[in-house]
A and B are shown apart, each in its own frame.
Chain A
Amino acid sequence: MALLEIENLQVHFRSGDGIVRAVDGVSFQVEAGQTAALVGESGCGKSVTALSLLRLLPEPPARVAGVMRFEGRDLLQLSEREMREVRGNAISMVFQEPMSSLNPVLTIGRQIAEPLRLHQKLSTPAAGRRAVELLDVVGIAEPARRAGEYPHQLSGGMRQRVMIAIALACRPRLLIADEPTTALDVTVQAQILELVRSLQTQFGTAVLMITHDLGVVAEVADRVVVMYAGRKVEEAPVDALFRHPQHPYTAGLLRAVPRLGAAAAARLAEIPGTVPSLRVRQAGCAFAERCPRVQPRCGTEPPPLRATSAGRWVACHDPLPAPTST
C-alpha cells in the first residue's frame, strides 16, 4: 500500500456565473520516501490538487469528491478536528509565496514553535529551543537571533527556509511543496531544492513537488505526473519521461524548454492555442484543439488512461512512439 493514494479526485467550484471544474478525475500514488512531481502549466489544477489534499479549500465555493487515502485512511472522510491533527503533523505544506506566507506581526521563532506546541505538546520554552535548532537545520545563520525577528527582516530565500522549517518541524511523512522556488532567484532556487533533498534523505519524508518548471522536475523527482486542464495525461518515472514522452502535451512541454546552444535565431517551440475553459466539460480529449497528432475521434471520445509499460500511464488515443535516436 502506497503512502498516498488518490483516486478520481474531483474539485469543482461554483463561481458567479458558472461551474469551474478545476480538477476533474485525477488519480496517482506517492510511495513513502519518494519524490513525486506534479507538472503542468498555470491553471491546470495542480495547486488545487495540493490544497485539497490538506482540505484547505473553503468548502462552500468548492466541492471535493473522490478518494484520498493517506496511510490507509481516506482524508475526505475525516472530521475537521481529525484533519487538523493531520495538518502540519503527518502531512505538511510549503507554499509558493514566501513573502506573504509568514505572519508579519509574529516572530519567526513563535511561528515555528506553533506546530511543535500544538502537535507534540511541547512547552513554550522547549518549543522555542527546538525552533532555534530547526532554523539551524535549514541553514539560517545566527538562528537564536533570527528567532526573535519578524518576517519583514528576512530575505525571500530565508523566509522560504523558515517555511520549510515550519513544515518539517513535526517530522511529517509527506511534504507537499507547491511551487516552492517559483518566486525566488535562480541561485536561491538551487539552494532550496538542495535543502529539500537533503532533509528528505535525513528524515525519510515523501515529497509531492508541484511545479511548472521541468528543470525542477529533473532535479528532484523520482516519478512525474503531468496534468492538463484538470486531468492527468501522463505518468512515468522521471528518466523515462524525459527520454520518451508519450503524450503530445508532455512532448510539447519538453520542446518548449529553451536550450543552450540552440540556433540563436530559432523561435521557441510553443504549443499553439490556449488552455480550454474549465467551465465547460470537454467532450473528448481536452488537448484535442492544440494537439499536432489530433485525430477525428479525439474530439468526441475522451481517451482512457492506459498503462503502456511498467509504471507508465498515458491518456491518449495515439501516444508517441519511442524515439529511434536519443
Chain B
Amino acid sequence: MRHRYAEAKEAFVDEINVDEYIELEGSRRAYAQLEHSLEKSTKMVLLYGRPGTGKTLLLSRLFRQYHHQKDLHFFETPTGSRREFYGRLFSVFTSKPLPQKTQVNFETLVEFGKKIKEKRQIIILVDEAQMYPPELLEEIRILSDTGSIKFVISLHKTSDEDLVAKQHFQSRIWESIELNNASPDELKAYVYKRLFFKGLEELATGFRRGHFSRIHRWTGGNFRECNKLLYTLFELYEYYDQHAPHRIEYGKISTKLLEMAAIKTGMIHV
C-alpha cells in the first residue's frame, strides 16, 4: 500500500519536469521575455539567476514549446571538452552525428555559419554556461557574430560568474533576463500548486501563514532549497506515520516537524 505522505514527498523531488511546470509571476515574466527575444534579431540572450531559481526549467519549457516551430536546440548538460561542444554544433548544422575520430575545425564552423546566415536562423539554448571554459565562451561569442546562430545562455549569478558574463558577452548581449528567488507569496503559491498537482489539497491547506514565513526565511525563496526542505518534512511525516502515528495529525502541518526538517537540511544550525 502506498503511503499517504509518499505522494507529498514526491511532489518536492527536485527534478526538471516540464509537465509539472508551475507558473509564478516572476517566471511568467521571464518566460515572456525569453519568447519575445527569440523573435528579435539578437545575437545572444543571457538568462541569469541564483542556483535554484528555475533557469533550466524555463529553458526546458521554451525548448519543448518551440523546437518544432523553430531551429531550436538545447545543450542541457555542459560539455567536458571543446571537441564535444563542436561535435554537438556539427550535429546541429548537419543533423548528423560527428564521425568517430574526426575533429571540427573552429574556422570552418565560423565560415559555415556565415554561409547559412541567409538560409537558417539557428537558436541554441546553453544551460550551465558557467561550466564552460573561458576559451569556449569566447568562441561562442565569435560564432554568434556570424549572425546565423543565436545563443541563449543560462548562467548562475555569482560575483565570479557575473564577471565571466561581462568579460565574454557584454558587448554581444542584447537581451538580459534575470530570474529572482521567489517572494513569500510566490513560494506559498508554489507549495500549494505542487501539492495540488498530486491531489493533496488537504495537506496544502494544513500549512499556516507562519509556516510560509519560516520556509521563506530559511530557504531565501529558493525553489531548490524549498523542495529540499519540504521533501525532508514529508519524509519525517512518513516516518512518524509509520512508527508513531499518534504524534502527528493528518491535515495539519506541525511547526516542530518543519523545524526538524530545517535542522536536518542544515537550514537551521543548532
A, B: real partners: no
Interface positions of A (Cβ within 8 A of B): none
